[in-house]
Amino acid sequence: MSDKILKLIYEITKKYKDPSSESPLDESNKNLSIVVKNGNVSIILLIKPSIKSQYQETVKVLKNAILKIEEVVSVNVVLTAETEKTENNKSARFIINCKNIIAIASGKGGVGKSTFAVNLATTLSRDGNNVGLLDADIYGPSIPRMMGILKRPEVNENKKLIPPEKYNIKCMSIGFLIDLDTPAIWRGPMVMKALEQMYNGVEWGKLDYLIIDLPPGTGDAQLTLAQSSKLTGSVIISTPQDVALIDARKGINMFKKVNVPILGLVENMSYFVCDHCNQKHYIFDNGGAKKEAEKSNIPYLGDLPLDKKLRIQSDEGTPSCIVNPDSSMSKLYKKIADKLINNISN
């Protein structure tokens, strides 16, 4: 249903021109992002602050036209201004001393994104890199549990948070700052402030890699981090079935629109190896992510199985790549990490 609404919306927006570029407001316009969820439409327009007034009439007309679509419940249009970038990128809101900042993303929840982020971070750390792991999922932080960290971060003399360390990885999560069973009932501005605090307000030191576990979807938090944190690139996680790939496609398109390189697509829960027959069983179909990578012209990093031991290790806070580095699962993560590093260097 959302794809149908999105198509109808673009039929409306493409009739109008972007005042800053004079190009149509269609699917190829990098200044336009549209998200549809349960009939609620969010439109984000990247504009030049100097000509903001030229957008006012366009926004009004677009809202009225889109609200006439039968399945649309509400329309919210956000005008966001991008400041001019200087050579040393001083305009970036989120700045740390890190060579490579990699966002782990998914179009929907429940595809194993956080598990992937943890095991990628531990794999990179075991290879001798200085690694940080940032849990940017404000509403559903899972990194503290998966890394087995219970203590809260301390504050140094510069009033910066000292990130808890485990397995030689510096970690930060809102889960360290609120009680385990306390929900984060925050609106957008509070979420952005929390993300900025966990990024700029942390004594990360010098890192080779910062792995950011993004929230699922393509909302404000994802856009803010994509546009403001000098990302080296992103990795998209999806399961093989069509419903997951539809959402993964949205994530791919979001990163393309904000000019963030997509370093690769991973098919998680690709298959299950039976303990009794030792055969692969493709529970959620198979090969869908690889086909999507080829279709979207992005690298395919590989597939990972649905694994009971991995689930137990994640619940216990003992990542597979640490407790069992010679296992088949750990070797798959190592293979994916090597491909990822190669894609970064090329």
Quote the tokens at residue 87.
Answer: 């050579």
Which residues make Cβ contacts (< 8 Å) with residue 264, sequence separation at least 6? 235, 236, 293, 298, 299, 300, 301, 336, 339, 340, 343
Q: What is the pLDDT of residue 340?
A: 95
If we measure between CA atoms, which residue out of 239, 259, 206 comes closest to residue 306? 239
Q: Is there a domain that residue 316 lies in? A: yes
If we measure between CA atoms, which residue out of 203, 210, 206, 204 comes closest to residue 344? 210
Q: Is there a domain that residue 93 lies in? A: no
H helices within the chain, ranges in order?
A: 2-13, 56-66, 113-126, 143-147, 188-200, 220-228, 242-257, 288-296, 308-316, 320-323, 328-345
CATH code of the domain in which 73 resides: 3.30.70.2210
Q: Where among 47, 81, 115 does a domain terminate?
A: 81
269 and 330 share one domain: yes
37 and 105 share one domain: no
For residue 205, is pLDDT > 90?
A: yes
Give, as one character, the DSSP assignment of residue 318: -
HEC sequence for 238-266 = ECCCHHHHHHHHHHHHHHHHCCCCEEEEE
Q: Is there a domain that residue 240 lies in? A: yes
Q: Is there a domain that residue 205 lies in? A: yes
Q: How confident is the model at residue 90 (pLDDT cuts 50, 70, 90)?
A: very low
Q: What is the pLDDT of residue 329?
A: 92
Can you name the residues that pair with 236 across neighbouring β-strands? 105, 265
298 and 337 share one domain: yes
For residue 181, is pLDDT > 60?
A: no
125 and 55 share one domain: no
For 332, the 3-state DSSP assignment is: helix
61 and 115 share one domain: no
Q: Calculate what percentage of the chain has a pLDDT beyond 70.
A: 89
| Phi-psi map region of 148: left, alpha, beta (phi>0 left; psi -120 to 50 alpha) | left
206 and 323 share one domain: yes
Q: How many domains does the chain have?
A: 2
Q: Is there a domain that residue 252 lies in? A: yes
pLDDT digits (tens, 9 = 90+) for 305-314: 988 888 898 8
Work out the mean pLDDT of the chain and round it to a whole number: 83
| 66-71: long-range contacts, CB 8 A cutoff, minimum separation 24 | 66/9, 66/12, 66/41, 69/5, 69/8, 69/9, 71/1, 71/4, 71/5, 71/39
CA-CA distance, 193 to 206, in Å (whole number)? 23
Q: Is there a domain that residue 260 lies in? A: yes
Look at 50-59, 252-261, 298-307, 328-337 and tell me which has the smallest mean pLDDT: 50-59
Q: What is the pLDDT of residue 189?
A: 62
Q: Where among 22, 54, 81 does a domain terminate?
A: 81
Q: Once rounded to an integer, what is the mean pLDDT over residues 295-306?
A: 92
Can you name the residues that pair with 6 across neighbouring β-strands? none
pTM above 0.75, yes or no: no
Q: What is the pLDDT of residue 89?
A: 40
Q: What is the pLDDT of residue 220?
A: 66
104 and 210 share one domain: yes
175 and 50 share one domain: no
Q: Is there a domain that residue 189 lies in? A: yes
Q: What is the pLDDT of residue 163?
A: 92
pLDDT digits (tens, 9 = 90+) for 124-133: 999 999 999 9
Quote the tokens at residue 221.
Answer: 């938090």
Q: Is there a domain that residue 257 lies in? A: yes
142 and 24 share one domain: no
195 and 132 share one domain: yes
272 and 183 share one domain: yes
Instruction: Kindly list the distances between the CA atom of residue 261 and the CA atoms of 146, 218, 298, 299, 343, in Å, as whole numbers in the listed order.
Output: 27, 16, 9, 11, 10
Give, as one character, the DSSP assignment of residue 283: B
More confident residue, 299 or 243: 299
Q: Where among 81, 107, 130 does a domain terminate?
A: 81
Listed in order, strand segments (DSSP E) in 106-216 are: 131-135, 154-155, 161-162, 165-166, 169-173, 207-213
Range of the domain at 275: 98-345
171 and 276 share one domain: yes
Q: Once rounded to an integer, what is the mean pLDDT over residues 108-124?
A: 91
Q: What is the pLDDT of residue 128?
A: 93
For residue 283, is pLDDT > 50?
A: yes
